[in-house]
Amino acid sequence: MSTNAIAIENFQSAGRTWTEVLHEWVTTVDHKRLGLLYIGYALVYLVVAGIEALIIRIQLMHAQNNFVSPQVFNRMFTMHGTTMIFFVAMPVLFGFANYLVPLMIGARDMAFPRLNAFSFWLMAFGGLLLYFSFLGGSGLYGAGNAPDVGWWAYAPLGAKAFSPGHSSDYWTIALLVSGFGSVGTAINIIATVLGMRCPGMHLGRMPLLVWLNLVMSAMVLIVITPLTAAQLMLLVDRYLGGHFFDTQAGGSATLWMHFFWIFGHPEVYILIIPSFAFMSEIVPVFSRKPIFGYPVMVGATVFIGFVSMSVWAHHMFTIGMNSYANSFFTITSMIVGIPTGIKIFNWLGTMWGGRIQFKTPMLFCIGFLFQFLIAGLTGIMLASSPFDWQLSLSYFVVAHFHYVIVGGILFALFGAFYYWYPKFTGRMLSETLGKWHFWLFVIGFHMTFDVMHIPGILGMPRRIYTYEPRPGWETLNLIVSLGAVVQAIAILIFVWNLISSNWKGAKAGNDPWDAWTLEWSTSSPPPAYNFATIPVVASRRPLWDKKHPEDPDSRYE
Amino acid sequence: MLVFALLFCLRAVAAAAPGSPFSSTSIFAPASTPARTIFGLSLFVLTVCALIFVVVGGLLLYAAVRFRGRPTDAGREPAQVYGSTQIELAWTVIPVLIVAVLFLATARVIHAIQDAPKPAAALDVTVIGHQFWWEFRYPKLGIVTANEMHIPASDPAHPTPTFLKLLSADTDHSFWVPELGGKTDLIPNRVNEMWLDPARPGIYLGQCAQYCGTQHAKMLLRVYVDRPADFAAWVGTQQRGAVQGAGVRAGKRVFETTSCINCHAVSGTAADGRFGPDLSHLMSRATIASGAAENTHANLRLWIQNPDAIKPGSLMPAMKLSDEDLDAVTAYLETLR
Amino acid sequence: MSTLAIPITPAPQSWDLPDRGKVAMACLIIAESAIFTIFVVAYLFYVGKSLTGPMPSEVLETPVFFTICLLSSSLTVHLAGTFLKRGKQGAFLSLWLLTFVLGGLFLLGTGQEWHRLIYEKGLTISTNLFGTTYYSLVGLHAFHVTAGLVMLLIVLILGLAGRVNRAHTGRIEVLSMYWHFVDAVWVVVFTVVYVLGR
Residue B297 sits in a domain whose CATH number is 2.60.40.420
| Residues of chain C falling short of pLDDT 70 | 1-9
Peptide bond preceding A525: is omega within 30 degrees of 0, i.e. cis?
A: yes
Of C1, C7, C39, the CB nearest to A7: C1
What would the DSSP string read from start to end of A64-78? T--SS-HHHHHHHHH
Q: Which residues of B49-78 are buried (b: 16+ CB within 10 A; e: fewer)?
A: beebbeebbebbeebbeebebeeeeeeeeb
B71 pLDDT band, cuts 50/70/90, is confident
What would the DSSP string read from start to end of B31-64? -SHHHHHHHHHHHHHHHHHHHHHHHHHHHHHHHH
Of A196, A252, A522, the CB nearest to C17: A196
- Across the interface, do A230 and C32 touch by the CB < 8 Å criterion? no
CA distances from B252 to A131, B297, B325, B336 (A): 50, 17, 10, 11
- Tell me whether C35 touches chain A (CB under 8 Å): yes
Cβ neighbour number for residue A325 with a 10 Å cutoff: 16
Of A322, A357, A394, the CB nearest to B69: A357
In three-state secondary structure terms, B221 is: strand
Instruction: Find residues 115-154 of chain A whose CB sits inside 8 Å of chain B.
Output: 142, 148-150, 154
Please state the ipTM of this predicted complex. 0.94
As for how many domains chain A has, the answer is 1
Say what percent of chain A tops pLDDT 90. 93
C93, C114 Cβ separation under 8 angstroms: no
pLDDT digits (tens, 9 = 90+) for B206-242: 999 999 999 999 999 999 999 999 999 999 999 999 9
Closest C-alpha to A363, from A494, A526, A507, A479: A494
CA distances from A487 to A319, A483, A490, A494, B2 (A): 35, 6, 5, 10, 19
* DSSP class of B310: T
- Across the interface, do B111 and A323 touch by the CB < 8 Å criterion? yes
Of C24, C32, C132, the CB nearest to A236: C132
- Across the interface, do A5 and C45 touch by the CB < 8 Å criterion? no
Exposed / middle / buried, residue A299 (Cβ in 10 Å: 0-12, 13-18, 19+): middle
Residues of A in contact with B193 (CB under 8 A): 320
- CA end-to-end distance (rounded Å), chain B: 51
B9, A454 Cβ separation under 8 angstroms: no
Residues of A in contact with C35 (CB under 8 A): 225-226, 228-229
- Give the residue-averaged pLDDT of B277-299: 96
Rounded to 5 degrees, what are φ and ψ at A30? Answer: -80, 130
Of A294, A387, A451, the CB nearest to B41: A387
Sheet of strand B173-176, all strands in order from the earlier edge strand to the far edge: B148-152, B220-226, B202-208, B173-176, B184-186
Q: How far apart are CA B253 and CA A134, in angstroms?
A: 45
Instruction: Find residues 252-271 of chain A whose CB sits inside 8 Å of chain B.
Output: 252-254
Q: How far is A273 from chain C (nearest CA, A)?
A: 19
- Across the interface, do A458 and B14 touch by the CB < 8 Å criterion? yes
Any domain includes B96 = no
Q: How far apart are CA A79 and CA A52, in angstroms?
A: 8
pLDDT digits (tens, 9 = 90+) for C105-152: 999 999 999 999 999 999 999 999 999 999 999 999 999 999 999 999
What would the DSSP string read from start to end of B170-216? SS-EEEE-TTT---EEE-TT--EEEEE---S-EEEEEEE-S--STTG
Instruction: Find residues 229-288 of chain B whose CB sits inside 8 Å of chain A.
Output: none
Q: Distance from CA of residue A177 to its chain's centroid?
A: 19
Cβ neighbour number for residue C169 with a 10 Å cutoff: 17
User: Which range has the worst mean pLDDT, A6-10, A321-325, A483-487, C124-128?
Assistant: A6-10
- At A139 the pLDDT is 45
- Tell me whether C110 touches chain A (CB under 8 Å): no
Q: How far apart are CA A352 and CA A154, in angstroms?
A: 46
Q: Distance from CA of residue A113 to its chain's centroid?
A: 23
In three-state secondary structure terms, A155 is: coil
- At B75 the pLDDT is 78
In three-state secondary structure terms, C2 is: coil
- Give the residue-averaged pLDDT of B126-146: 97
Rounded to 5 degrees, what are φ and ψ at B186? Answer: -110, 115
- Across the interface, do B102 and A320 touch by the CB < 8 Å criterion? no
- At C197 the pLDDT is 86
Any domain includes B311 = yes
pTM here is 0.95
Average pLDDT, chain A: 94
pLDDT digits (tens, 9 = 90+) for B10-67: 554 444 444 455 578 999 999 999 999 999 999 999 999 999 999 999 999 999 999 9
A429, A360 Cβ separation under 8 angstroms: yes
Residue B124: its H or E element:
strand B123-130
Any domain includes A12 = no
Residues forming a β-bridge with B204? B223
C5, A176 Cβ separation under 8 angstroms: no
pLDDT digits (tens, 9 = 90+) for A387-444: 999 999 999 999 999 999 999 999 999 999 999 999 999 999 999 999 999 999 999 9
Residues of B in contact with A162 (CB under 8 A): 170-171, 213
Q: How far apart are CA B70 and CA A358, in angstroms?
A: 11
Any domain includes B308 = yes
Instruction: Find residues 505-524 of chain A whose CB sits inside 8 Å of chain B.
Output: none
Exposed / middle / buried, residue A12 (Cβ in 10 Å: 0-12, 13-18, 19+): exposed
Residue A479 belongs to domain with CATH number: 1.20.210.10
- At A164 the pLDDT is 86
Which chain A residue's Cα is nearest to B68?
Answer: A356
Residues of A in contact with C133 (CB under 8 A): 244
CA distances from A139 to A128, A130, B212 (A): 21, 17, 20
- At C2 the pLDDT is 43
Which chain C residue's Cα is nearest to A249?
Answer: C51
Closest C-alpha to A390, from B279, C85, B113: B113
Q: How far apart are CA C65 and CA C77, in angstroms?
A: 19
Of C12, C23, C24, the CB nearest to A199: C12
- At B9 the pLDDT is 52
Q: Is A139 left (phi over 0), alpha (psi -120 to 50) or beta?
A: left
In a mutagenesis test of the B interface, which of A385, A450, A479, A539 is the best target, namely the one with the most B β-carbons within 10 Å?
A385
In three-state secondary structure terms, B157 is: coil
Q: How far is C94 from chain A (nearest CA, A)?
A: 31
- At B18 the pLDDT is 47
Q: Which CATH class is domain C64-196?
A: mainly alpha
Q: How far is B337 from chain A (nearest CA, A)?
A: 27
Q: How far apart are CA A554 and CA A541, in angstroms?
A: 9
Say what percent of chain A tops pLDDT 70. 96
- At A4 the pLDDT is 37
Any domain includes A5 = no
Residues of A in contact with C46 (CB under 8 A): 250-251
CA distances from A500 to A25, A57, A211, A496, C21 (A): 21, 30, 33, 6, 42
- Tell me whether A549 touches chain B (CB under 8 Å): no
CA distances from A518 to A5, A279, A479, B147 (A): 11, 17, 45, 65
Of A6, A218, A243, the CB nearest to C132: A243
What is the Rg, in whole angstroms, of the alpha carbon atoms belonging to chain C? 22
Residues of C in contact with A229 (CB under 8 A): 34-35, 38-39
- Across the interface, do B45 and A384 touch by the CB < 8 Å criterion? yes
A225, C144 Cβ separation under 8 angstroms: no
In three-state secondary structure terms, B129 is: strand
- Tell me whether B82 touches chain A (CB under 8 Å): yes
Torsion angle of alpha carbons A276, A281, A285, A287, nearest 10°? 20
In a mutagenesis test of the A interface, which of B22, B24, B25, B177 is the best target, namely the one with the most A β-carbons within 10 Å?
B25
Of B10, B24, B190, the CB nearest to A254: B190
- At C11 the pLDDT is 76
**Whether pLDDT at A7 is above 80:** no
> What pairing do the DSSP bridges indicate for beta strands B162-168 and B123-130?
parallel
As for how many domains chain B has, the answer is 1
Q: How far apart are CA B46 and CA B65, in angstroms?
A: 28
Residues of A in contact with C49 (CB under 8 A): 250
Q: How far apart are CA A148 and CA A72, in angstroms?
A: 8
Domain holding B261, by residue range, is: 249-333
Q: Which residues of A303-323 are buried (b: 16+ CB within 10 A; e: fewer)?
A: bbbebbbbbbbbbbbbbbbeb
Closest C-alpha to C12, from A335, A480, A205, B58: A205
pLDDT digits (tens, 9 = 90+) for A93-151: 999 999 999 999 999 999 999 999 999 999 999 999 999 998 875 544 544 589 999 99
Any domain includes A211 = yes
Residues of A in contact with B25 (CB under 8 A): 458-459, 470
* DSSP class of B272: B
Name subunits touching C (3+ CB pairs < 8 A).
A
- Across the interface, do A255 and C19 touch by the CB < 8 Å criterion? no
Closest C-alpha to A265, from A336, A326, A321: A336
Alpha helices in chain B (DSSP H): 2-14, 33-66, 85-114, 228-239, 249-257, 260-263, 297-305, 323-333
Domain holding A424, by residue range, is: 26-555
Of C10, C27, C129, the CB nearest to A187: C27
In three-state secondary structure terms, C49 is: coil
Instruction: Please write down the long-range contacts of A525-529, taking CB distance under 8 Å and 24 or more positions apart.
Output: A525/A32, A525/A423, A525/A424, A525/A425, A525/A426, A526/A7, A526/A32, A526/A103, A526/A423, A527/A7, A527/A8, A527/A10, A528/A30, A528/A32, A529/A108
- At C1 the pLDDT is 39
> What pairing do the DSSP bridges indicate for beta strands B162-168 and B192-196?
antiparallel
Of C2, C8, C42, the CB nearest to A244: C42
Residues of B in contact with A287 (CB under 8 A): 67, 78
Q: How far apart are CA A50 and CA A484, in angstroms?
A: 9
Which chain B residue's Cα is nearest to A151?
Answer: B211
Contacts of B227 (CB under 8 A, 6+ apart): B152, B153, B201
- Across the interface, do A250 and C46 touch by the CB < 8 Å criterion? yes
Q: Which residues of C111-120 are buried (b: 16+ CB within 10 A; e: fewer)?
A: eebbeebeee
Name subunits touching A (3+ CB pairs < 8 A).
B, C
